[in-house]
């Protein structure tokens, strides 16, 4: 048995959740915040059999879209602060697959 931990952009959260549920996976959602952009994310916890891990990953990948976003970047020059927008890629998913030693439903 495996535990899939997937950190997904909040904009894709409802689509990923609906798709996983439609495919028969039990999903727990946690509201989380990323450290780099301080943006909202959703962390999904999905427990599944080893044989279905690739299916979980496929669903998450299909519904987690990468996108470009402009963020302000502060540069220093002659003691004046200037804000120059920088384009960064956000979205997609960061996924961890963990082995489960024991599983119980109490």
pLDDT tens for 49-77 read 999 999 999 999 999 987 776 666 654 44
| Domain span at 91 | 2-99
For residue 104, is it within any domain? Answer: no
Phi-psi region of 93 (alpha: psi -120 to 50; beta: other; left: phi over 0): beta
45 closest CA partner among 61, 31, 64 = 31
For residue 105, is it within any domain? Answer: no
Tell me, what CATH number does 13's domain have? 3.30.70.120
pLDDT tens for 79-106 read 455 567 777 667 689 999 999 999 888 9
For residue 86, is it within any domain? Answer: yes
Place of tokens 């200037």: 82
Overall domain count for the chain: 1
Which residues, other chains included, contact 48 with Cβ-Cβ below 8 Å and sequence gap of 6+?
Answer: 1, 2, 4, 25, 55, 56
Q: What kind and span of H or E run contains 91?
A: strand 80-91
């Amino acid at each position: 048995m495996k535990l899939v931990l997937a950190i997904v952009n909040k904009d894709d959260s409802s689509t990923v959740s609906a798709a996983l549920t439609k495919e028969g996976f039990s999903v727990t959602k946690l509201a989380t915040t990323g450290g780099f952009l301080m943006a909202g994310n959703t962390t999904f916890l999905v427990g599944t059999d080893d044989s279905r891990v690739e299916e979980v990953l496929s669903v998450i990948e299909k519904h987690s879209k990468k996108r470009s976003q402009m963020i302000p970047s502060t540069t220093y020059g002659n003691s004046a602060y200037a804000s120059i927008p920088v384009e960064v890629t956000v979205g997609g998913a960061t996924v961890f697959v963990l082995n489960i030693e024991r599983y119980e439903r109490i």
